[in-house]
Each structure stands twice: as C-alpha cells, then as structure tokens.
A and B are shown apart, each in its own frame.
Chain A
Amino acid sequence: MSIVDNHSLALPPRISEAGVGDYIALLKPRVMSLVVFTALVGLMIAPGHVHPVLAITSILCIAVGAGASGALNMWYDADIDALMSRTSNRPVPTGRVTPQEALTFGLILSFFSVVTLGILVNWVAGALLAFTIFFYAVVYTMWLKRWTAQNIVIGGAAGALPPVVAWAAATGSLSVEPILLFLIIFFWTPPHFWALALFRSGDYARAGVPMLPVVAGPDATRLQILLYTIVLVAVAASPWALGYFDAVYGVSSLVLGGWMLMLAINVYRRREGAPALRAARQLFGFSLVYLFALFAILLLEVVVAAVLAQFG
C-alpha cells in the first residue's frame, strides 16, 4: 500500500458545518446587488420588448454568475483575506467553508449560470457572462491583484460588464449604449476603490496587495483619484452629448458629477490626519450613491416613457 493511503487514513474526516448563510456570503451579496441593478438598467434600456420570464432568467443568471466569481475570488484569496480586517471574517479564512468547497461551489455556479443563460436566452450573452467570470476570477484575482497597482483599473472591466451582458441578453447583439454604460462603471471603479484603499491602506500593506496607496503613496493616489474623476464626469455626460440619452439624464449626470468632483478635490486637498480620512470616506460613500443615482435615472426614464406610452 502506498504512503498516500496511510496518510489519508491518518487524517480525521472533516465534517462540514457550513450553513446556508456561509454559502450566501461566498456570493458577495452586496457586490451582487450592484451587479443586478446595473444589469437591470442595461436590460431595460435595450430596444425592443423582452418577455418578463426571459428578463428574470437573464438577471438571475447574471446575478448567479457574479456570485460564482465572488466565490472563486474568496477561494483563491483566502490567504490574504485572513490578513485584512475587512475580510478576515469571510467563510474560507475562518474555516467555516473549506477552500475545496468554495472552489467547487464557484465552478458549479459558473457552469450553470453560463449554460442556462446560453440555452434559455442567447449565446452572445452566455459567452459574455463566461468572459466576465473568467476576467474577474482569473485575470483580476489570480493575476492582476497581487501583481500591479493597476489591478483595480484593468480588473474593473469585470465589474463594468454586467449591463453589457444584459443588453446582449435582450438584443442578441452589442451597440454603443451598453459600451457607454461599461465605460461609466469602468472609470468609476478607480476613484471608488482608491478612496477605500486610502483609509484601508494598512490592511492592503499587511496582506502584500500592491494597491496604489501602498505602492505609490497616498498623495499620488489622491492625484489619480482626481484625474479619474474628471474623466468619469466627462464619460458619464457623453451619452447625453452624443444624443443617446436625453437632457434629464445629462443635467443629472453633470450635477452628480459636480458633487463627485468636489469630493475628489476635497480628497486631493486634505492630506493629513482625520480630515484626510474623513474626505476619503465621504468620497467612497458618495461614489456608491453616484453610480446608483446615475443608473436609477436611466431606469426611471424608461419606466416613465413606458407609462406615458401606455396611458398617453
């Protein structure tokens, strides 16, 4: 008999005590909620009629796909999650879920979300969802995150793809509008995550994650936040300037963008002590409101237009 057999006999069998809540935590529900919302907007602004059953199927598959990539991320990053206060209570670093269980869970959900979307809706959307999961789990988590300070800039593409997947689910093709939505989320990601990294840089340094404040310092990060916010405001207004979305969206994007820019300038100017931390926290908090509000306006316009068409 081999050594492996003896070894396996020596190990006590591990009985899982993971609850349903631990598996839900693997799906990163808070990230998933933003993914679902942006995907819903992508689906709703797409031209033509989508049957409600297909719409629900699409959103469900995109949500499960996003959750699957979250589980794969938690499987791979368990070692660094254990070192950061924000993530040390996740199911894998605490031992409530084993790495093998998280990996299996992530792979099974990835497979079912992609195949279900492909079979029931269309394969353009299915392929885009597969690419999104691959980009987040492999390109961002396994490669970029531990390698470069540009990790969240390039990796942000994964978080920006859900409205594109949803548009493809509705139309079977791609167009300029979903790409504009993609660009808005893409340029929103760096100021959002770097604001977080400014007041969590100790966490990232301890875990050896090369976030920009750790590698280039907080002042360089503040400048990058400001520059990306300027680009974000311009990109967010571009769908109006190019004539894709109307003036209500355009004016709202400029007002919200102005506020975001003001907070980014505040982050740039306040560099010491508690005011600097407060400025970073304010920008981080508002960035969530900013993205939500921008997409909510698009959703509201579609709903109002549908109601007016029905009763007008």
Chain B
Amino acid sequence: MDEEQPPGIVLTEAQKKKRRERSIAIAIALGILVVLFFAVTLVKGPAVLNRPL
C-alpha cells in the first residue's frame, strides 16, 4: 500500500480559468433570479406565489 496514488484529473490553468468564469456567471444568474423574485414580491406583495392557475 505504499504505492503512490495516481494524481487523478488535474486541471490545466486554462481549464481552471474557464471553470472559474463559468462559476461566476452561474452565481450572477442565480443572484439576478433571487433579486427578481424579491423585487416582484415587493411589487405584488407576498401573495405572488398564491395565485390561481
């Protein structure tokens, strides 16, 4: 068991940079969604989610 473990997947710097960019974009999109729901709740009141189909 003293054999060294294989390093697994090692990301290149370019891959890390792209992943970071994608993560930030997802965070911004989710942030916008949260702000949108919050703003509409302020506009329409808490009954925004209690509506007839």
Contact = CB atoms under 8 A, between A and B. Distances in A.
Q: Do chains A and B stick together as partners?
A: yes
Interface of A: 13, 15-20, 23, 51, 53-54, 57, 60, 112, 116, 119-120, 123
Given A18-B18, A120-B48, A60 B36 contact: yes
Nearest to B25: A20
Contacts of B44: 54, 120
Interface residues of B, number: 22
Nearest to B32: A60
Given A20-B25, A120-B40, A112 B33 contact: yes
B49 interface: yes
Given A18-B18, A123-B53, 16 more contacts: A15-B9, A15-B11, A16-B18, A16-B19, A17-B14, A19-B18, A20-B24, A23-B25, A53-B39, A53-B43, A54-B44, A119-B48, A119-B49, A120-B36, A120-B44, A120-B48
Main SS at interface, chain B: helix
A120 to B, nearest CB: 5
B40 A57 contact: yes
B9 A54 contact: no
Interface string B10-44: 01001100110110110000000100110110111
Contacts of A18: 18, 22
8 contacts: A20-B25, A53-B39, A53-B40, A53-B42, A57-B36, A112-B33, A119-B51, A120-B44
